[in-house]
């Protein structure tokens, strides 16, 4: 059966415009089984698996179907709203937060899912998939931009219900009683999201755990990609804080991996990419001291001409190098085609007065040229008690009353809240009945929910570009790139400027070493959503997306001319990344490939552009 006939036969013809012709291509070597194959497991075999996992085997539905079959129904209207809620999407085994990528992939449900509640459940699913030659896929947070947490006709190991959290005052990894001293730590299940951990560790426990900037990112997947959060310029990558992992490998064994036991596997799990080496069921992370304050600086400056804009970029790059290139500041600055510089940065450990003092020279320079520069929005710079950063109840009680700048300095609270500027709260909250009180996400992340990507590229920028001899080249490249597409500099995703202990911990991970000397990760991306092919009113804009993808490439090529081998971050990068082995892991790839062969010699775990995936077709079904 050819590709087009296959898609029509499976009811997936709507995917034809966005799926590449070579997706199903492959030789007639070993091929994983699909439901249409005669050797697909029998109903009795599936029943045996269901018994082995305590009745937690489920057939996976595709919730989006109602938008096509009954678009005017109450269920369809309710679903359209729910697709804007990342917690709803996370609760659906048949959905992922990103719904697809034009010309690359679209989320499609597995045939069955094991809603695992224990490592034994995971081991049973792994053994069943291996013995029956099934495509296996793992999903916790479901945040993969490249579709690595879903695959049609597969068996899904769904870890979302494994969300237990235990705080330790003095933790020592198993077998490490002699070399390592006890230290504060938290043990979390594989389904734990950032907000779960932040609520328990920071809001309740007054400590810090390194998670992602987006509250709904799963920590297990984050750590396996390296793991950057809003404050990783200070604390380092999440993988650097991993003390121990419980993991089920391809042979179905439940293993402990730490610095003293299965240390090679432990290293690979720290940044070697999710879904390639096994299924993490539980992990323990080092806890850090929480500062007194977290804060932010939010404002946008518009330049009146191209010449003025280039001067603005030059001034900001110089100002960043002199005043912001340290572990106090993270997050983003956006350089855009409409000659605006948008500052969306966070601070660590600075009071409001200190943070404003840092920015005052730059703001004074802008104010000195009123004909060239104007503010698009109020300049908001401030801090709040760090313990309240993820305290949803505190935000509910305080955000309407938080002061505008200088209106009530005696309160001294964080006044960057976008509610005063955008007429919306800083958090959006899960409004479904009987949901967790802390089910909330940053309003700034709402656009990601249910997105269909048009393009996404990243590049680490070395700190050497900030030096006087190279700075003008960086300015020119940023300006030239911005003529094509918006580019964001994510300062927290480059470790140059971080404390020595954070860099040392990152050196002992599989992350591309390029990240250790980068001052920022440059990202250019565009999406629409919620969107999905074949559903009227939700169709991805294929023609526009391809134009956008081309503009993104032209934009990033300006920076790649300065850094031809700069590397990219595996979790935030191009689906079509060239030389991905080198880009994602650099000199570490050879070691990762050997560890892959040791623990998964037959390739049970295959994800797009994952370690060892070059031996498989893109869909992970055919061994090449």
Residue range 551-594, pLDDT digits in tens:
999 999 999 999 999 999 999 999 999 999 999 999 999 999 99
- Binning the chain into helix, strand and coil, the percentages to the nearest 5 are 35, 20, 45
Q: What is the pLDDT of residue 312?
A: 98
Flag whether pLDDT at 352 surpasses 70.
yes
Q: What is the pLDDT of residue 23?
A: 46
CA distance 126 to 139: 14
Is the Cβ–Cβ distance between 133 and 32 less than 8 Å? yes
Helix or strand run (H / E) with residue 548: helix 542-560
pLDDT higher for 376 or 130? 130
Q: What is the pLDDT of residue 426?
A: 84
Residue 1 carries which DSSP code? -
Q: Which two tokens stand for residue 160?
A: 């979302």
CA distance 432 to 6: 38
Domain with CATH 3.30.465.10 in the chain: 165-289
Q: What is the pLDDT of residue 178?
A: 87
Domain with CATH 3.30.43.10 in the chain: 25-160
Strand, coil or helix: 340 = strand
For residue 62, what pLDDT band results from cuts at 50, 70 and 90?
Answer: very high
**Prior bond of 530 cis (ω within 30°):** yes
Tens of pLDDT, residues 146-163: 999 999 999 999 999 999
Q: What is the pLDDT of residue 417?
A: 42
Residue 115 carries which DSSP code? E
Flag whether pLDDT at 415 surpasses 50.
no
Flag whether pLDDT at 25 surpasses 50.
no
pTM (predicted TM-score): 0.92
pLDDT-above-70 percentage for the chain? 91
Q: What is the pLDDT of residue 400?
A: 54
Q: What is the pLDDT of residue 377?
A: 87
Tens of pLDDT, residues 154-206: 999 999 999 999 999 999 999 999 888 999 999 999 999 999 999 999 999 99
CA-closest candidate to residue 455, choices 18, 12, 17, 7: 18
Q: What is the pLDDT of residue 395?
A: 86
For residue 410, what pLDDT band results from cuts at 50, 70 and 90?
Answer: very low
Helix or strand run (H / E) with residue 479: helix 468-482
List CB contacts of 149: < 8 A, sequence separation 6 or more.
Answer: 96, 137, 138, 139, 140, 141, 142, 143, 221, 274, 275
Query: Is the domain defined by 165-289 classed in CATH 1.10.630.10?
Result: no
Tens of pLDDT, residues 526-560: 999 999 999 999 999 999 999 999 999 999 999 99
For residue 407, what pLDDT band results from cuts at 50, 70 and 90?
Answer: very low
Q: What is the pLDDT of residue 437?
A: 86
List CB contacts of 131: < 8 A, sequence separation 6 or more.
Answer: none
Residue 136 carries which DSSP code? E
Flag whether pLDDT at 473 surpasses 90.
yes
Strand, coil or helix: 435 = coil
Is the Cβ–Cβ distance between 265 and 537 less than 8 Å? no
Q: How many CB atoms lie within 10 A of CB 360?
A: 11
Q: What is the pLDDT of residue 4?
A: 44
CA-closest candidate to residue 237, choices 467, 558, 493, 422: 493
Instruction: Annotate 234-248 with DSSP letters as a single string.
Output: HH--GGGGEEEEEEE
Is the Cβ–Cβ distance between 573 and 521 less than 8 Å? no
What's the CATH code, domain 25-160?
3.30.43.10
CA-CA-CA-CA dihedral for 471, 472, 474, 480, to nearest 10: 170
CA distance 232 to 569: 14
């Amino acid at each position: 059966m050819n590709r087009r006939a296959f898609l029509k036969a499976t009811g997936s013809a709507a995917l034809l415009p966005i799926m590449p012709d070579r997706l199903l291509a492959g030789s007639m070597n070993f091929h994983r089984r699909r439901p249409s194959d005669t050797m697909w497991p029998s109903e009795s075999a599936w029943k045996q698996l269901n018994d082995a996992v305590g009745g937690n085997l489920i057939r996976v539905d595709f919730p989006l179907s109602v938008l096509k079959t009954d678009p005017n129904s109450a269920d369809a209207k309710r679903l359209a709203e729910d697709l804007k809620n990342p917690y709803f999407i996370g609760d659906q085994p048949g959905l992922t937060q990103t719904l697809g990528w034009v010309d690359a992939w679209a989320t499609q449900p597995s045939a069955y899912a094991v809603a695992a509640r224990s490592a034994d459940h995971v081991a049973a699913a792994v053994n069943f998939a291996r013995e029956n030659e099934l495509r296996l896929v793992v999903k916790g947070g479901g945040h993969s931009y490249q579709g690595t947490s879903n695959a049609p006709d597969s068996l899904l190991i769904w870890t979302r219900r494994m969300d237990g959290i235990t705080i330790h005052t003095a933790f020592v990894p198993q077998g490490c009683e002699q070399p390592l001293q006890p230290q504060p730590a938290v043990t979390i299940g594989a389904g734990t999201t950032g907000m779960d951990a932040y609520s328990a560790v920071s809001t309740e426990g007054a400590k810090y755990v390194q998670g992602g900037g987006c509250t709904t990112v799963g920590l297990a997947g984050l750590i396996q990609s390296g793991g950057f959060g809003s404050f990783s310029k200070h604390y380092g990558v999440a993988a650097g804080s991993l003390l121990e992992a419980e993991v089920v490998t391809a042979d179905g064994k439940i293993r402990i991996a730490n610095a003293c036991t299965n240390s090679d596997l432990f290293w690979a799990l720290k940044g070697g990419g999710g879904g390639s080496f096994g299924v993490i069921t539980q992990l323990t992370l080092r806890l850090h001291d929480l500062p007194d304050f977290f804060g932010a600086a939010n404002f946008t400056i518009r330049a009146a001409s191209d010449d003025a804009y280039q001067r603005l970029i030059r001034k900001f790059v110089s100002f960043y190098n002199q005043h912001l290139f340290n572990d106090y500041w993270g997050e983003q600055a956006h350089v855009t085609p409409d000659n605006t510089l948008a500052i969306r940065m966070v601070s660590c450990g600075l009071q409001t007065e200190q943070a404003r003092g840092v920015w005052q020279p730059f703001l004074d320079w802008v104010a000195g040229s009123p004909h060239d520069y104007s503010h698009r929005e109020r300049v908001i710079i401030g801090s709040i008690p760090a313990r309240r950063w993820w305290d949803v109840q505190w935000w509910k009680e305080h955000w309407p009353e938080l002061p505008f700048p200088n209106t009530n300095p005696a309160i001294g609270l964080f006044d960057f809240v976008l509610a005063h500027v955008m007429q919306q709260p800083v958090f959006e909250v899960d409004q479904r009945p009987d949901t967790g009180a802390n089910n909330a996400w940053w309003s700034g992340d709402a656009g990601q929910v249910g997105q269909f990507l048009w393009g996404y590229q990243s590049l680490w920028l070395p700190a050497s570009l900030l030096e006087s001899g190279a700075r003008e080249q960086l300015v020119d490249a940023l300006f030239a790139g911005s003529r094509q597409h918006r580019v964001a500099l994510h300062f927290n995703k480059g470790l140059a400027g971080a404390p020595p202990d954070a860099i040392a911990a990152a050196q002992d991970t599989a992350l591309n070493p390029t990240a250790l000397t980068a001052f920022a990760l440059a990202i250019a991306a565009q999406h629409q959503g919620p969107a999905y092919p074949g559903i009227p009113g939700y169709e991805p804009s294929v023609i526009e997306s391809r134009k956008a993808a081309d503009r993104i490439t032209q934009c990033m090529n300006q920076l790649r001319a300065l850094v031809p081998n700069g590397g990219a971050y595996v979790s935030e990068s191009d689906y079509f990344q060239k030389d991905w082995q080198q880009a994602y892991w650099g000199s570490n790839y050879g070691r990762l490939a050997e560890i892959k062969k040791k623990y998964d010699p037959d390739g049970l775990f295959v994800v797009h552009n994952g370690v060892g995936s070059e031996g498989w077709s893109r869909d992970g079904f055919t061994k090449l």
